[in-house]
Structure formats: structure tokens, C-alpha cells
């Protein structure tokens, strides 16, 4: 996979007699996250800082 997201997989079986299995939908779903853990942690920390700053600025404006 080249990107984050969910990927759905299915198999189709056939035998020597020529019978082919027919599927309606997928059998398994897996989630993929291609972002390194460091980037995720940095993003969470930045989000927390932004929320704290927002609360602080709002409290200053109320005074």
C-alpha cells in the first residue's frame, strides 16, 4: 500500500473440475498506517499545545 487507509481482500477458489467460487464482498479488512510513530507523537503533542493555547487565550479575553 502507498497510503493510509483500509484495504479489503477476498479470494476466489477454483478446482480441477472447473468449479469457481463466487464471492459477494470481501473476506477480511486491514488498516494500514504508513506514518512513522514519531510523526504521530509530534502531531498529538502539537494538538495538545494548540488546545492549551486556545484555552489560555480564551481565558485572557474574558478578563
- At 3, is the secondary structure helix, strand, or coil? coil
Residue 46 grid coordinates: 502539537
Which residues have CB under 8 Å from 21's CB, separation 6+? Answer: 11, 12, 13, 14
Taking the C-alpha atoms of residue 14 and residue 20, their distance in angstroms, rounded to an integer, is 4
Q: What residue spans define the domains of the chain? A: 5-62
What confidence category does residue 1 fall into, taking pLDDT thresholds of 50, 70 and 90? low
pTM for this structure?
0.45
pLDDT score for 52: 96
- How far is the C-alpha of 25 from the C-alpha of 11, rounded, in Å? 10
| Position 2 pLDDT exceeds 70 | no
Name which of 1, 56, 52, 54 is nearest 29 in CA terms.
Answer: 1
Residue-wise pLDDT tens digits, 7-54: 889 899 999 999 999 888 888 988 887 778 888 899 999 999 999 999
Amino acid at each position: 500500500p502507498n497510503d493510509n487507509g483500509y484495504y479489503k481482500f477476498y479470494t476466489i477458489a477454483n478446482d480441477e473440475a472447473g468449479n469457481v467460487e463466487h464471492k459477494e464482498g470481501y473476506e477480511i479488512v486491514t488498516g494500514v498506517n504508513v506514518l512513522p510513530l514519531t510523526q504521530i507523537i509530534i502531531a498529538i503533542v502539537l494538538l495538545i499545545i494548540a488546545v492549551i493555547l486556545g484555552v489560555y487565550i480564551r481565558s485572557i479575553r474574558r478578563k
